[in-house]
Structure 1
């Protein structure tokens, strides 16, 4: 049997190939493919090669391919007109003038999109019918459908029966069987009965094969209206998908199905999109017309609704229906004061207030063009208290009756940070509907440790408790001070006081209820070390409409104020408390003495102490001390040198720029200019002050000097060398020999270079002073040198293109280098 079937198939294929002009143009039908699957694998591969088809289509062992719907629609390219959140927030933070409010509302209205159109938005890419969906039992069988019949039992056969134009199928051995007007379930039962009656011992499995295609029309306001070939199982919504959906003026709520010139169904897509009701999505028949009329009225819904959009209206719909379309209200909505913008009969826009919490408001009919704006509720929390500052868990907490400070902060260790100020906290309380505040001081430590004391204040709704630490005092006080200034509206003095002088945190503070001087000192963190407690000054302004402003100064004893309860001095607005410092009080000052002294180290000094006194405290000099070579450093001199160096650098840049712009002189080279500037930047400023220790040792008072904090004295050992630096052939250091002159030491270093400026050569003495040959008539080339002296031969400024500042640059560089070297040797 199999051999016979094989020969028949091969003969049929050969005839088909002979009579076909283009072999590759022949496409096997599904019936032929099913027959090919019964052939051996070698024959399947040969036939597949001849027909140019995938061999897996003919293989009986091939796995079932995954059924996927073809993509028949491409998405439309639409612009996103919705502002991002950051832009929307920036709009709401603008000054809310009338023009700004109108602009914001108008922009939000323009951002609204028509609801539901995005679901079907697209353009068709193919007209191929979708035929891979399950077939329901009520499907009406018609011409072109294929019924698959599998016989098993005494005989095994597969048949693919195509319904002819007369509505009948040709069943082998049974003849024609009419299926006109039968559903798939009825046709299946009929065929099974026929087989059971005529073919004893054979069972049948009947399924639907390839379905027929039908041609429908999509008309009206579709995105791509026209004629489409679709599956006979297609419905109205599938026709919408294939045609690309509805355009921007098409109706989603009145899609009509027309058959033979009559409307046989109407689909409201809102039922499907909002409630999942597909009862109106009827199945199409060949020749049906899906007609999309233009949209009716629309309403725009914005504000605090869950789905702001533009919705299509039907007749007699109310505000309640519109809220349902928008999927309800947000939790932050204030529906009681919603607003509807509506065009009147005179084509003028009017505004109507609608209470969406009342039946009258919900039953209000909606008109075409309405804009419903659901306002937002206030973001102010009514029944809460706020913790801020140096607490472990800041934020808002529920207020309840008789709530106290210790109820919110029961533990110092468990609720406060390690740096929290236990003596000074502020309770900010609203006193009226305008938001005006009054400030109370809370001794937080006492409130927590003794909850039954008066310090454990009872809280009220909307209270704010601020806990200070030692860093954020000013930051937390700033909004309170601003609020107190703003609420002073009728010429009244703002409830603010100030404290300055020797306290930990001087500045401006809120005037708390029943405040006194002691409380202000506590607010400022207490007194600093060295505060003068015998007398502080309280300055008070008395304002009179007749006499103007008078200033009063009152002297207070801080000892009495802080320790005597009967010495309470109440404060008024704009009071200023000045805490003085003890006479002759000073912070501990330190000076450093190093080198050739008997007890080098760091010594504390008082105001007026001199260098001679500190040297005596250090035990005096050793026998090896070189007093002339001593280096004395001072911070104030260092700061001055740094400032002068910055000025010199700026002047040098300007001179370089001026030389570069001058045409009649050579321009300075870029490398030379950068070299000078770089050397200036790398100069280490030391702050050396020339002192004469020999004169101090001899008792000459003019040579002595008062010490400052951070002064440093370096006494080196005796130095038996003379150094030669600068523009010489071989810069070096030579052993001091008595009797050798300036020129002789210069000769020991090879003499000046070609670029040297011999006329400006100078000597830096061991004590840091400078001597120049051209400053004294007796200072000649035969000048005797001393141990520790340094000869400097500078660069000729004319060689550097007349940069007159170059000599100053080199002088600073050499002088600083010598001082650093002297200190480094200790």
Structure 2
């Protein structure tokens, strides 16, 4: 009998599951659930696995917690009105065609107007970025708290937990008749009850009917309702939402409001009647959601077209395009824009307003009640001007100071008040002798200049250099690096304020001064002031006579140039007779002492008694310096001396660059020639690379023996940077170039060219015998006198080097190659001589 009962229960449960799979609306009765609980646990699990259900559904036990997932109902959408302009250009922004009205304005006004129009174009409609998305799903959101006044309805679910004498859990759904089927208690009607009232009713029934049992009741799944979003919504239509949804949630689900929809008059209609309106500005600007009404099934959220639009730009915290209602004033508009910025000048604000025929400008004072009380009209453009950036009650400190910037002006303020300490307020490189006070003299910004001694102004409060300051004065302290940089804006200002043919107050100083150039003429400035501005005289300046060139301009005679001699010594000592006031376009030229020269140095190394670096004067010769160095030692090899000169080095560098360029062109020409064999790429690159790596020395051939003997023709005048290297005696002869074994051999008196060549294994196959030569120890070259080998007069001496060059036939007749190889060999020999010292 028991077995038959079990089979009946199992069959009934299975049928229940199958039916439930086909109709989700069917709910198992409490009796069937109780019978399922009486089965063994293993049998319950088997049935659950067979039909793919959760045992907790039929056992009444706690169900597995479902993760709360908020579906992404809104994704990013592209707004068709990207600039934020209203569809009607007359409402919000200035039409581009309006810029034609300003064609007759000045260039400055055009630039300012263009900048303002650009700002207007960048204005966006306030609040619409809240809905910068579109719906991706219509799934209702149900993970929100349920308020106590929530009205129960068909589809809502209550989670009931019983505890005490017996522990049970139920998930009871309100049926279409408004009641729930409570196990052991039967149906309980919840029609018209709020959640709080339903909860109280159930708690009382359970406590009265089930002795020893207490209960905990919470809201489970909420029912869904069907609403409509109509009007100027982004995606109007019918939507299924949670029964707790409000107007704003309906807006989000439908993608928000389109470009012509209103944010301030969103209407909620129920059964064809207007239930309420919602102003989104209350939520966005004040955080007030009291008008966000809860929706019921069948409600219509209607979005009418936008009302009047007012653009606000300029010095406000939130420039944008705002929707205004009838009766709102400028005070309301400025409040929408979050008020004005600290740098605003609201007293001179304007409204650009459309009339029947054109646009007008209305000046408003946003510091007065009358200005705030002006009614806002559709299409208004409110522009809040900015305050002037100019500071009236300040003096400015510029240049070589520790703390540059603007400082508050005080009555009776002087330079020493601005810079009380040399060590504490000036940089280490500050020029204490030269400073400028730049003062504005009129409202046009014209300036005049005062020159002062910064050191005296700080050290002596009673000094005439401690000038009294005025508002907007600028004090410039110079150093020895940024003189030109700091003077540039001052000079440019002097140029700009020179009008109607007036002479620019500038003077030039050149010659032997520290900072030659162009300087502004300060009030009462003379030649001494110009010398101080230029940093003073350089060493070697000729102070007895300087030249002052002055241009005298006459309407009848034109420009007359005068030259005047000035005694700078008297000027610097402050003698009154030498004082000459500066005029515009004066040019002071400071000369250099006759025969003045900078210290010149020459170097003598090697086999002299006192090698070292010697100072020379103009006109001193090589013999003079050799005598000062004590002459040659007994081990000196004067024939092998190497004399280097910087001017010769620079010339050789130039010639080497020319030779490299010629070689490149010749290689290119050979490559383009159809006749003959073209030079290989590797050979060409090898030649050019060797030439580029040549270290130019600037060697000048000198005959030390002749100089020592007093032959005047052999001596030469020295230049700054000359160097003489005298090596010790060298009893060797080197053979280089295209020989079998380039090597160095001991000098043997009477040995001929042939014999030294045989010691090196003889010439190679690619040797050019006709161009072989001897590089003498002194740097000179001995060439053959005939087509035969060298004559007896061309004997080999100690320190000589025999050079056998490459036959250029093997390099495709590159005629410059012989010059290249000669440079390479000659340089190598000179470097080898110097390196031995």
TM-score past 0.5 threshold: yes
- Is the Cα contact below 8 Å between 2:782 and 2:794 reproduced in 1? no
Report the Cα distance in structure 1 between the residues aligned to 2:624 and 2:720, rounded to whole angstroms.
15
Q: 1:403 aligns with which of 413, 416, 426?
A: 413
Report the Cα distance in structure 2 between the residues aligned to 1:416 and 1:256, rounded to whole angstroms.
71
Structure 1 residues 411-422: aligned runs within 5 Å: 411-422=421-432
* Residue aligning to 1:388: 398
Cα deviation for residue 640 of structure 1 reads 0.9
Structure 1 residues 276-291: aligned runs within 5 Å: 276-291=287-302
Structure 1 residues 434-583: aligned runs within 5 Å: 434-564=444-574, 566=576, 567-583=578-594
What TM-score, normalized to structure 2? Answer: 0.89
Q: Does 1:686 align with 2:697?
A: yes
The structure-2 alpha-carbon separation of the partners of 1:454 and 1:723, relative to structure 1 and needing over 3 Å to count, comes to same
Q: 1:432 aligns with which of 442, 455, 467?
A: 442
* Residue aligning to 1:626: 637
Q: 2:329 aligns with which of 315, 318, 325?
A: 318
Q: Does 1:17 align with 2:14?
A: yes
The structure-2 alpha-carbon separation of the partners of 1:294 and 1:697, relative to structure 1 and needing over 3 Å to count, comes to same
Q: 2:304 aligns with which of 293, 296, 311?
A: 293
The structure-2 alpha-carbon separation of the partners of 1:775 and 1:512, relative to structure 1 and needing over 3 Å to count, comes to farther
Q: 2:741 aligns with which of 713, 730, 733?
A: 730
Report the Cα distance in structure 1 between the residues aligned to 2:733 and 2:49, rounded to whole angstroms.
105
- Is the Cα contact below 8 Å between 1:256 and 1:292 reproduced in 2? yes
Cα deviation for residue 560 of structure 1 reads 2.0
* Residue aligning to 1:72: 73
Report the Cα distance in structure 1 between the residues aligned to 2:741 and 2:80, rounded to whole angstroms.
79
Q: 5+ unaligned residues in a row in structure 2: which ranges?
A: 85-105
- Is the Cα contact below 8 Å between 1:26 and 1:51 reproduced in 2? no
Report the Cα distance in structure 1 between the residues aligned to 2:663 and 2:744, rounded to whole angstroms.
31
SS in structure 2 at match of 1:425: strand
Q: Which range moves more in the overlay, 643-652 or 530-539?
A: 530-539
Q: Which range moves more in the overlay, 704-713 or 534-543?
A: 534-543
Report the Cα distance in structure 1 between the residues aligned to 2:428 and 2:185, rounded to whole angstroms.
98
The structure-2 alpha-carbon separation of the partners of 1:276 and 1:804, relative to structure 1 and needing over 3 Å to count, comes to same
Q: 2:281 aligns with which of 240, 258, 270?
A: 270
Cα deviation for residue 129 of structure 1 reads 1.6
Cα deviation for residue 265 of structure 1 reads 0.8
Q: Which range moves more in the overlay, 35-44 or 336-345?
A: 35-44
Q: Which range moves more in the overlay, 628-637 or 41-50?
A: 41-50
Q: Which range moves more in the overlay, 542-551 or 504-513?
A: 542-551
Cα deviation for residue 815 of structure 1 reads 1.3
- Is the Cα contact below 8 Å between 2:60 and 2:170 reproduced in 1? no
The structure-2 alpha-carbon separation of the partners of 1:286 and 1:37, relative to structure 1 and needing over 3 Å to count, comes to farther
1:632-689 Cα offsets, whole Å, 9 max, x none, are 1111111111111111111211222222222224322111111111111111111111
Q: Which range moves more in the overlay, 48-57 or 31-40?
A: 31-40
Report the Cα distance in structure 1 between the residues aligned to 2:828 and 2:83, rounded to whole angstroms.
67
Report the Cα distance in structure 1 between the residues aligned to 2:380 and 2:6, rounded to whole angstroms.
73
Report the Cα distance in structure 1 between the residues aligned to 2:768 and 2:27, rounded to whole angstroms.
109
SS in structure 1 at match of 2:657: helix
- Is the Cα contact below 8 Å between 1:149 and 1:206 reproduced in 2? yes
* Residue aligning to 1:753: 764
The structure-2 alpha-carbon separation of the partners of 1:77 and 1:694, relative to structure 1 and needing over 3 Å to count, comes to same
Cα deviation for residue 488 of structure 1 reads 0.9
Q: Does 1:366 align with 2:376?
A: yes
Q: Does 1:676 align with 2:677?
A: no
What TM-score, normalized to structure 1? Answer: 0.90
* Residue aligning to 2:147: 136
Cα deviation for residue 580 of structure 1 reads 1.7
Report the Cα distance in structure 2 between the residues aligned to 1:630 and 1:554, rounded to whole angstroms.
53
The structure-2 alpha-carbon separation of the partners of 1:650 and 1:26, relative to structure 1 and needing over 3 Å to count, comes to farther
1:91-132 Cα offsets, whole Å, 9 max, x none, are xxxx95666555544443332222212212322222222122
Report the Cα distance in structure 2 between the residues aligned to 1:459 and 1:23, rounded to whole angstroms.
97
SS in structure 1 at match of 2:129: coil
Report the Cα distance in structure 1 between the residues aligned to 2:455 and 2:212, rounded to whole angstroms.
100
* Residue aligning to 2:96: none
1:233-254 Cα offsets, whole Å, 9 max, x none, are 1100011111111111211111
Report the Cα distance in structure 2 between the residues aligned to 1:726 and 1:357, rounded to whole angstroms.
97
- Is the Cα contact below 8 Å between 1:23 and 1:51 reproduced in 2? no
Structure 1 residues 567-646: aligned runs within 5 Å: 567-646=578-657
Report the Cα distance in structure 2 between the residues aligned to 1:413 and 1:556, rounded to whole angstroms.
37
- Is the Cα contact below 8 Å between 2:135 and 2:253 reproduced in 1? yes
Report the Cα distance in structure 2 between the residues aligned to 1:414 and 1:80, rounded to whole angstroms.
59
Cα deviation for residue 194 of structure 1 reads 4.1
Q: 2:137 aligns with which of 126, 135, 157?
A: 126
* Residue aligning to 2:752: 741
Report the Cα distance in structure 1 between the residues aligned to 2:548 and 2:27, rounded to whole angstroms.
108
Quote the RMSD (CA, aligned, Å): 3.3
Q: How many residues align?
A: 809
Report the Cα distance in structure 1 between the residues aligned to 2:228 and 2:696, rounded to whole angstroms.
93
The structure-2 alpha-carbon separation of the partners of 1:720 and 1:469, relative to structure 1 and needing over 3 Å to count, comes to same
Cα deviation for residue 192 of structure 1 reads 3.6
Report the Cα distance in structure 2 between the residues aligned to 1:733 and 1:16, rounded to whole angstroms.
116
Q: 2:665 aligns with which of 654, 657, 669?
A: 654
